[in-house]
Amino acid sequence: MFCVVEVDESLFGAKRVKGKRGRGAYGKTTVFGVFERERQVYTEIVPNSSKATLQGIIRGRVDVSTVINSDGWRGYNGLVDLGYGHFRIDHSKDEFSKGGVHINGIEGFWGFAKVRLAKFKGITDATFHLHLKETDWRFNHRHSDKCKT
């Protein structure tokens, strides 16, 4: 049996400023996530969402025999050339699931993380990585007695 991993990137930070949207929104921190279905999530703060940055993390964290599900972001182009199985979901065509192909697990984690971190009403850049890793841990252990979220 093969392993399925979902990858995605998300922006964390202050509320959206009128006229500034998506990747062009300034003052945001980009976080990349890898979610192994039915298992754990791994996140990393990244300087950008470029192909080199994202694929460098994927090559370091994900075995080549793995099937990767992603959205249509161009940073994921070429994963097949690296030896990975790769399927995409095209959100621009209102596609969120196609057969067993989806990235709902990692997107569910983003929702969990943003709700959890919003409780702090602002986190400094100096401690954001610590809060993010605690959120990873809480998500990964959410079904055990070790953590009550």
Structural domain includes residue 146: no
Based on the structure, what is the number of domains in the chain? 1
Output the pLDDT for position 98: 72
Structural domain includes residue 8: yes
Structural domain includes residue 145: no
Output the pLDDT for position 147: 52
Give pLDDT tens digits for 51-99: 999 999 999 999 999 999 999 899 999 999 999 999 998 766 666 667 7
Contact present, 89 and 71 (Cβ < 8 Å):
yes
By C-alpha distance, which of 23, 7, 2 is closest to 70?
7
Whichever domain contains 122, its CATH number is: 3.30.420.10
Q: Residue 131: pLDDT above 70?
A: yes
What is the reported pTM? Answer: 0.85
Give pLDDT tens digits for 93-116: 666 667 778 888 899 999 999 999
Q: Residue 7 carries which DSSP code?
A: E
Output the pLDDT for position 135: 95
Structural domain includes residue 37: yes
pLDDT (mean) for 36-54: 92
**DSSP assignments along 20-58, one per residue:** --GGG-TTEEEEEEEEETTS-EEEEEES---HHHHHHHH
Domain holding 113, by residue range, is 4-140
Give pLDDT tens digits for 1-35: 468 999 999 999 876 666 665 555 577 899 999 99
Output the pLDDT for position 1: 46
Q: Is 93 left (phi over 0), alpha (psi -120 to 50) or beta?
A: alpha
